Amino acid sequence: MTTEIKYDHPLGEVFGFPIINDSKKAKRYRNKKLCPFNNKVPNCTKDKANDPLGVCSVFHLEKPIITCPTRFREDWIIVDNAAKFAFKETANWTSLSEIKLLDKNGQSAGNIDFVLVSYNSKGQLTDFASLEVQGVYISGNLRNSFDRYTSKPTSNFVWPTGYNYPKPDYLSSSRKRLIPQMLYKGGIFQNWHKKQTVALQKSFFDTLPKLPTVSKEKADIAWFLYDLVYEQNTKQFVLTLVETVYTEFESALQKVTTPDPGNMNDFINILQDRLDERLDGNAPEAPSLTDIIIT
């Protein structure tokens, strides 16, 4: 059974659990600052290892938005789903994390979150594919509300909205992380004719331009779209695959890197205003900048 949570604070999950969860397990994870989602070490290490910002997701428009990439590791379903796209059902496979990728000149193109590798009965590698995990950047201040809550945990915690209230920054998430990854790491894998997969939340994907889709058989990239679904009986959110989108590499890259242009006349008017300011507020008699450019 699922239900929608109403909230008066931005803290979707703290050390893996909604703050309304007062179970013994939830309290233990908060007290010990543990990560329940397969972090490299048992403890949460987000932001600072000795003082972690243990917020896995934040509430925005009544929904929890994943801000920590480690949150996607719940039960390793992201790896399992990616392998179903990359390899045949009968393949033996495993995953390797944080693999450095080099270009032709030996320069680093960045680390790949996960490389899925298939192998034969002798343990020899037969194929590989990439899996990139896309969390969402935050604008505003999340640390203040987190510190206030952890100083005195209560399920009735309230944090007022206002200036610097934390919220997802989808634009920065795509421009500073997703697009550069597609250009560099994705470009290398495409040149090698290797499959690529991306795990991200559906709300993030919905902010991207609409991508041209193809069949699974023709796809270079599989976009696995997840959401956090609340389960009333456990008072926890569960990572759930809600949609898979298949695209070719070139058409998807072209779409996400080419903005829809605004009206040129609006830009010309801005230039004219700035030009007027530069000329001490005296607008040119004639013709206007718009007339010159258009004619």
Whole-prediction pTM: 0.87
Backbone phi, psi, residue 4, to 5° = -95, 135
- Buried b / exposed e over 181-207, threshold 16 CB at 10 Å, is bbeebbbbbbeeebbbbbbbbbbbbee
Q: What is the pLDDT averaged over residues 211-236?
A: 96
Q: 50 versus 94: which is more confidently predicted? A: 94
Query: Percent of the chain, pLDDT > 70?
Result: 93
pLDDT digits (tens, 9 = 90+) for 150-167: 999 999 999 988 888 999
CA dist 216 and 86 (Å) reads 10
Residue 110 Ramachandran class (φ > 0 left, ψ -120 to 50 alpha, else beta):
left
Amino acid making up residue 75: D
Pairing verdict, β 221-231 and 196-201: parallel
Q: What is the pLDDT averaged over residues 161-180?
A: 89
Pairing verdict, β 108-119 and 125-134: antiparallel
Lookup result for tokens 């929904």: 63
Q: Indicate the pLDDT class of residue 48, thresholds 50, 70 and 90.
A: confident
Q: What separation in angstroms does the CA of 17 have from each of 34, 126, 199? A: 11, 40, 21
Q: What is the pLDDT averaged over residues 48-77?
A: 94
Report whether pLDDT(7) > 80.
no
Residue 61 near residue 41 (C-beta atoms within 8 A) = no
Q: Indicate the pLDDT class of residue 1, thresholds 50, 70 and 90.
A: very low
Residue 118 near residue 91 (C-beta atoms within 8 A) = yes
pLDDT digits (tens, 9 = 90+) for 237-263: 999 999 999 999 999 989 888 888 889
Residue 105, both tokens: 């000149």
Q: How many residues does the chain have?
A: 295
Residue 250, both tokens: 């070139």
Residue 244, C-beta contacts closer than 8 angstroms, at least 6 positions apart: 81, 85, 222, 223, 224, 225
Residue 198 near residue 132 (C-beta atoms within 8 A) = yes
Query: Percent of the chain, pLDDT > 90?
Result: 75
Q: What is the pLDDT averaged over residues 169-192?
A: 90
User: How many whole angstroms from its chain centre is CA 196?
Assistant: 16
The strand pairing partners of 63, in sequence order, are: 60
Residue 210, C-beta contacts closer than 8 angstroms, at least 6 positions apart: 255
